[in-house]
Amino acid sequence: MTEELVDRIEASLEKDEAQLKTDLPGLLEDIDGRERQLIADNPEVFSRVVGRMEAIDIEGFYADEPEAADRFQDLLWTGVNLLVEDTPAIREQITTDITANFEADDCPMEGHLQVDAAEETVTGGAGLAEEADLTLSGPADTLTALITGGTDPIQGFMTQEYELDGSVQKGTQLASVMGEITESVPNSHAAD
């Protein structure tokens, strides 16, 4: 990862929301294919990116920049995958295979996740999985917050911030995994 790209990301994170949204498509295109390296080498930068994205109107971002928004989702899932790899407490919660789709009801955001018990991994990205055990639907901001740690998966479901369609058993197992991820995500939004 070039120092120049990291410097550009850092500079963009200091800008207001409108200017950041203008910068994001180019930055995310430059990061494309180098997500793991960026996150591994610069975890604090990744944490700040996630924190700033939590404050952005995700619905509007998807409407204006669908390709960039999908790239952000891929960056986010790469971060989750690395977090799972590095956190034994999360891997301990992975006891069954689960495939889930995320579908926003306020914009064209679609994503998926795959929990693999044998490999003890959680992977995901933009686009829907063909055969999902679960479908989570709700506002894009809420679905993103489920991944970034801004929304507790059990509380969010209980307060009807999102809907879950599929096996209750797999939903409960997914909530355990996502809850552990939520607790392990660097608290980037605490400083806001």
DSSP assignment letter at 139: -
pLDDT recorded at residue 9: 92
For residue range 65-94, list pLDDT tens digits in order: 999 999 999 898 998 899 899 999 899 999
pLDDT-based confidence at 186, cuts 50/70/90? low
pLDDT recorded at residue 88: 92
pLDDT-based confidence at 191, cuts 50/70/90? very low
pLDDT above 50 (res 188): no
For residue range 115-143, list pLDDT tens digits in order: 999 999 999 999 999 999 999 999 999 99
Output the CA–CA distances (angstroms, integers) from residue 145 to 1, 56, 102, 159, 181, in the order listed.
Answer: 27, 11, 12, 14, 12
pLDDT above 70 (res 187): no
pLDDT recorded at residue 55: 78
pLDDT above 80 (res 4): yes
Considering the chain, what is the average pLDDT of its residues?
88
pLDDT recorded at residue 168: 86
Q: Spell out a b/e string for 3-23, using b for 16 or more CB atoms within 10 Å of the CB, else e.
A: eebeeebeebeeeeeeebbeb
pLDDT recorded at residue 1: 55
The C-alpha atoms of residue 159 and residue 139 are separated, in whole angstroms, by 14
pLDDT above 60 (res 31): yes
Is 157:128 a contact under the CB 8 Å cutoff? no
1-192 architecture in CATH? 2-Layer Sandwich (3.30)
pLDDT-based confidence at 190, cuts 50/70/90? very low
pLDDT above 70 (res 30): yes
Share of the chain above pLDDT 90, in %: 50
